[in-house]
Chain A
């Protein structure tokens, strides 16, 4: 069971930010190749996102695994929904599905800005 306080914090993050990336490190200093790859994809797409460094928050790190039933990081959320980790985000970016998803959800991307 996800710790109540952690669950609330996650929900707060996801409600107040269209795009949230739970990652290892920060967007400026990613500390894992997979996290860095997703940060790169998001900057290519030109979408604003909130980066959360789970290395600084072990409670959040464990809580997220249970909350989303996803064992690894990074974890990308758009409008509160788990999009996936590095593999899925990269696959979707290469096929253009990520850009479509963002536009469909009303999230402004670089191309539209």
Chain B
């Protein structure tokens, strides 16, 4: 089971329209990615809540089809 980086990016952007998404395939196996997601909608939210927003955008694929996503979230500068 693996996922394409583009699919992950698309899902995140559909769920968080203003998100800027940077994805790196850590092992080239389509199963271990690192992603930096930046969105103004994260402002004032805890890290757990920010990550939950990204997982929700991934519509249940996290932990299933997508085994490992090293996730970092951030708020755009000056927001």
Given contacts A71-B60, A72-B63, contact A87 B52 (CB under 8 A): no
In the complex, per-residue mask of A65-78: 1 if CB is within 8 Å of any chain B CB, else 0: 10001111000000
A55 close to B (CB within 8 Å): no
CB-CB contacts below 8 Å: B40-69 with A: 47-48, 51-52, 55, 60, 62-64, 68
Say yes or no: B72 contacts A91, CB within 8 Å. yes
* Interface range, B side: 10 to 19
A25 close to B (CB within 8 Å): no
- In the assembly, what is the distance between CA of A71 and CA of B64, in Å? 8
Chain A nearest CB: distance from B62 CB in Å?
4
Say yes or no: B52 contacts A88, CB within 8 Å. no
| Chain B residues within CB distance 8 Å of chain A | 47-48, 51-52, 55, 60, 62-64, 68, 70-72
Q: List 15 A-B contacts (CB under 8 A).
A: A34-B68, A71-B60, A71-B63, A71-B64, A72-B62, A72-B63, A84-B48, A84-B51, A85-B51, A87-B51, A87-B70, A88-B47, A88-B51, A91-B47, A92-B47
| Chain A residues within CB distance 8 Å of chain B | 34, 65, 69-72, 82-88, 91-92
